Chain A
């Protein structure tokens, strides 16, 4: 919130004045209020492998993260460029594979990748869109300096927290929204529905029937699935509700079977169709891939998009962006060592205590090592795993992340954050001004994942 000279940074000016006039005890009460709102509403997630599989709350911080309109515009341009490149890349690798032929990406990296689906080769999804919903993870290191950490192109989650965080802030501190001109995020569900309807199969007559596919109430993100279906006014379906009948995917309703045109699935590729992928999957719909390939349903995001946000592909993103957009990437990539390359592996093993090492296919902060904060023994153990399966890992330096203030009982304290803006792709690209700011609540920590004790806060993009 403050500059080196202890002045509030320009976007925080109004907020800072307001904050200075607040009583700390009052704000502590507000923090408690926020928790009660989340608990009553049932905004919870499940932590896998937790003994009592209890529903947990994600800690919410009451100080908003504030981004100026100017800084946002720059960021949004960079995100749009990146998302367009991702879609062009997917279209290319499932068709002509020009990027491979041009020698910019090794063939085996694509074709031996488990996220690459041969079933998608030569198939063009309705509207030509692969990643309908993208959540790009971004960190800020200084004024106008942003790095992309990850492109979540499969089924990015967390957007319900973006919306509920804003709702909670407006409920608790309405006066802040008169003092500051904050850009709206509330339109997201409506835009999502429009965006999904827009890419319905060409044969679809009338208003497209949209549904959200969830693995069910025990899934860690179930709250979000029901929230989005509810807000969009569409059905929330499970695999057991769906069946392929006469070449269409239909849902079992109280009045009979009714066809679905667009399925926003929150189920991984592997589980989507037991006839094509994992045969034991009970979450999917047998035969849906045939309906899809016949052009009778839109699946969002398209199967096989995981190849684009794979951590091994990530290191090639600057080349990918340049290859498809003809321009240098506006957003920077974090320098990445591919441990599959012997020289890189050697470097990583020698500098393990300075680096963050991630599994290529991991997510949610599981199975990673944060060198600078890990114990010596942890680093040694990890080095053994790394040496045994180098192709399974990438490594990145820890960035000098900027911090934002969070509210603690004694006042404010700085913490590291990242930012996940949400992007909708149909015939155009829409970026919701704001996103989910995740906070590493432990002092000095760089891990923001909710499964690892991270929290969230509201994210404001100011109007000019």
Chain B
């Protein structure tokens, strides 16, 4: 496969994953605004920060309002991480690698673009948001479904999956990092309404507010939430799960090409950290430091993959 094609697949799936995750973040933000007495537009700071665009937002909008934040996150094409931008880049990459995609996967991607471009071309009304977010998640789900149902399990599949999971691990770790302080035992007032509410918002951002209850007590506990999103391999958006997948997909590539790269070592080392670690140790050493370190190692892996498989040269 061409290095450029591997690069296109990797980024196509990173962008599709990001679009879905941004939609989830907005969803959680709206939920907060709905349910919390005395909630303020300031809550959107956290959402923008989780999306990694808080500073950029400040360059476009002087004040923080829910309407502006939602607009910036969903439809502003000046924001490279808005859902519209992600869908646009994702689809452009899909067009570039079209010969590597099944007709179903391409059409699901192209239709997502056609549909969302139409819906996001006009200013959003608050009343339409729940439906819109649902459509975004559904469109991304259709792409994923077409991909899983029709693609050969070969190098094309592996590069696509690696893109998905590197992006997802990045997103989950950012969501946690923005709210890391509400998970610290020393500061949090265990069981207070405020904490429950903050914790639920974290879980909602990764669509895990229900599944949490299936794994842990129905009572929210900071350490359990961190454990769930970092170390639990059963949880499909946890860092541990993402690295299970990345390491196995890289392993298939290694078997295919008969060649091992630096990327394999980097991924294996990150996976080992997640496997060895206990949540108590992580909390003791500092959750924020752990997450910062994880984000930078995850980025390093991305660079190692693009070097090893000649994405650019």
Q: Which residues of A contact B (CB under 8 A)?
A: 39-42, 216-217, 222, 226, 229-230, 235-238, 240-241, 251-256
Asked whether any CB of chain A lies closer than 8 Å to the CB of B173, the reply is no
- Whole-angstrom distance from the CB of B9 to the nearest CB of chain A? 10
Q: Any chain A CB within 8 A of the CB of B3?
A: yes
Which one, B107-115, B174-182, B232-240, is touching chain A? B107-115
Is B96 an interface residue when CB atoms closer than 8 A count as contact?
yes
Q: CA of A74 to CA of B313 in the docked complex: distance in angstroms? A: 52
Report whether A254 and B110 are in contact in the complex, using a CB–CB cutoff of 8 Å.
Answer: no
The answer, yes or no, to whether B55 is at the interface (CB within 8 Å) is no
Cβ contact within 8 Å between A254 and B107: no
Q: How many residues of B contact A (CB 8 A)?
A: 25
- Is chain A's binding surface mostly helix, strand, loop or mixed? mixed
How many A-B pairs fall under 8 Å by CB? 59
Question: Is A253 a contact partner of B1 (Cβ separation < 8 A)?
Answer: yes
B98 within 8 Å of A by Cβ? Answer: yes
A144→B74 CA distance, assembly (Å): 60
Q: B114 near A40 (CB under 8 angstroms)?
A: yes
SS class, residues of chain B in contact with chain A:
helix
Q: Which residues of A contact B106 (CB under 8 A)?
A: 42
| Contact, CB under 8 Å: A237 / B2 | yes
Tell me if B257 and A40 are in contact (CB < 8 A): no
Could you tell me if B313 and A252 are in contact, using CB atoms closer than 8 angstroms?
Answer: yes
Could you list 19 further interchain pairs (A-B, Cβ under 8 angstroms) beyond the known A39-B114, A40-B110, A226-B98? A40-B111, A40-B114, A41-B103, A217-B92, A217-B95, A226-B99, A229-B99, A235-B2, A236-B98, A237-B2, A241-B4, A252-B2, A252-B4, A252-B310, A253-B1, A253-B3, A253-B310, A254-B3, A254-B159
* CB contact list, B1-29 vs A, under 8 A: 1-6
- 3 smallest beta-carbon distances between A and B, as pairs: A254-B309, A230-B99, A226-B98
Residue of A nearest to B93 (CB): A217
CB distance B107 to A251 under 8 Å?
no
Complex: how many Å from CA A39 to CA B2?
28
A40-B110, A41-B107 are contacts. A254–B1 as well, Cβ < 8 Å?
yes
Is B114 a contact partner of A254 (Cβ separation < 8 A)? no
Q: Are B95 and A222 in contact (CB under 8 A)?
A: yes
Distance A236 CA – B5 CA, assembled complex (angstroms)? 9
Bound-complex Cα distance A251 to B2 (A): 7
Question: B217 contacts the other chain (Cβ, under 8 Å)?
Answer: no
Residues of B within 8 A of A251 (CB): 2
Tell which of A40, A235, A237 touches B107, judged by Cβ atoms closer than 8 Å: A40
Q: CB distance A238 to B4 under 8 Å?
A: yes
> Which of B1, B2, B106 has the most A CB atoms < 10 Å from its CB?
B2
CA of A281 to CA of B5 in the docked complex: distance in angstroms?
22
Residue on B with the closest CB to A216?
A: B96
Q: Which of B2, B95, B110 contacts A241 (CB 8 A)?
A: B2
Contact A254 to B155, CB < 8 A, known contacts A40-B110, A238-B4, A241-B2: yes
Contact A226 B95, CB 8 Å, known A41-B107, A42-B106, A254-B310: yes
Tell whether, in the assembled complex, residue B2 and residue A254 are in contact, meaning their CB atoms are under 8 Å apart.
Answer: yes
* Chain B residues within 8 Å of A39, by CB: 114
| Chain A, Cβ-Cβ closest to B107 | A40
A295 to B3, CA, bound (A): 27
Question: For residue B1, which residue of chain A has the nearest CB?
Answer: A254
CA distance A255 to B154 in the complex (A): 14
Tell me, yes or no, whether B259 is within 8 Å of chain A by CB: yes
- Across-interface contacts of A237 in B (CB, < 8 A): 2
When chains A and B are docked, how far (Å) is the Cα of A222 from the Cα of B309?
Answer: 25
Q: How far is B6's CA from A241's CA once the two chains are assembled, in angstroms?
A: 12
The complex places the Cα of A39 from the Cα of B114 at a distance, in Å, of 9
